[in-house]
C-alpha cells in the first residue's frame, strides 16, 4: 500500500478540525520534569485519574500497570517532556519515548518505544507541548494543527486506552471521550521500567 504525503496532510487536517484546541496558546516553557499526567474529564468515571503506561501505550483505569519500580508497586506513570517536544517515561536505561501516528492507519494512536526501537513508519516523536493553561497537547511538527486526547474503551487490561482526539472511533472503538491532560510534578520520583 503506497502512502503519500498528500494523504498524510489530509489526515492531519481531519485531526485538527476535530480538536478542542484549534488555536492553542503555547506556554513559554513547554518542558517539564518528572510528573504525573492527570485526566480532567468532568462527569466521566476517569476524571482525576492518573495516566498509566503499559504494553507500549497510555491507559487509564488499570488495577495494575505492572511496571518495575522497585520494592513498592506504583499504579501511575511518571512522564517528562524535554525542550525538543519529546514526551518520555521517567526511566533509567533503556529510555522509553512516545510517538503519535496520525496517518490513516495510525488514526491518532500514541505508543512508546524502548531503547533502540523505532516508531511506526509515520510515527512522530516530536510535537508534545504545554498550553498556557498547563494542558498537554500534541501539535503536528511544522504546523499549527493541534490535538488533545480521548479515552477509548474498553482497553486490554484497563478501562481505557488513550489516543489523540482527532479521529472519531479510532480502531473501531465506539466509546471514546475527549479529555484534557494536566501535568502534576512528582516529589521524589522513582524510575520505573514499563511493559512493552
What domains can be seen in the chain, in order of their start residue?
5-185 (2.80.10)
In the chain, alpha helices (H)? 5-17
Dist CA 195 CA 12 (whole Å)? 29
Q: Is pLDDT of 25 > 70? A: no
Rounded average pLDDT over 119-128: 95
| Structure-derived torsion over alpha carbons of residues 113, 194, 52, 18, reported in degrees to the nearest 10 | 10
- Per the DSSP assignment, residues forming a β-bridge with 182 are 38, 135
Percent helix, strand and coil across the chain, each to the nearest 5: 10, 35, 55
DSSP code at position 155: B
Q: Which residues pair with 186 in a beta bridge?
A: none
Question: Could you give the CA distance from residue 21 to residue 72 in angstroms, rounded to a whole number?
Answer: 38
Placement of cell 511496571 in the chain: 67
Mean pLDDT for the chain?
87
| Residue that wins the pLDDT comparison between 190 and 6 | 190
Would the pLDDT of 29 be above 90?
A: no
3-class SS of residue 3: coil
Amino acid at each position: 500500500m503506497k502512502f503519500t504525503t498528500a494523504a498524510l496532510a489530509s489526515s492531519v487536517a481531519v485531526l485538527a478540525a476535530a480538536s478542542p484546541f484549534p488555536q492553542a496558546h503555547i506556554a513559554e516553557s513547554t518542558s517539564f520534569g518528572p510528573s504525573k499526567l492527570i485526566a480532567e474529564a468532568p462527569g466521566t468515571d476517569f476524571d482525576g485519574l492518573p495516566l498509566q503506561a503499559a504494553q507500549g501505550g497510555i491507559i487509564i483505569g488499570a488495577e495494575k500497570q505492572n511496571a518495575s519500580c522497585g520494592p513498592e508497586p506504583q499504579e501511575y506513570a511518571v512522564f517528562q517532556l524535554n525542550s525538543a517536544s519529546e514526551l518520555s517515561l521517567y526511566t533509567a536505561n533503556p529510555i522509553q519515548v512516545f510517538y503519535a501516528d496520525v496517518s490513516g492507519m495510525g488514526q491518532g494512536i500514541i505508543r512508546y518505544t524502548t531503547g533502540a526501537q523505532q516508531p511506526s513508519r509515520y510515527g512522530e516523536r516530536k510535537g508534545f507541548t504545554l498550553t498556557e493553561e498547563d494542558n498537554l497537547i500534541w501539535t503536528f511538527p511544522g504546523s499549527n494543527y493541534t490535538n488533545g486526547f480521548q479515552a477509548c474503551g474498553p482497553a486490554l487490561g484497563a478501562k481505557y486506552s488513550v489516543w489523540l482526539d482527532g479521529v472519531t472511533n479510532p480502531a473501531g472503538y465506539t466509546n471514546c471521550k475527549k479529555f484534557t491532560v494536566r501535568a502534576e510534578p512528582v516529589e521524589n520520583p522513582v524510575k520505573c521500567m514499563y511493559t512493552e
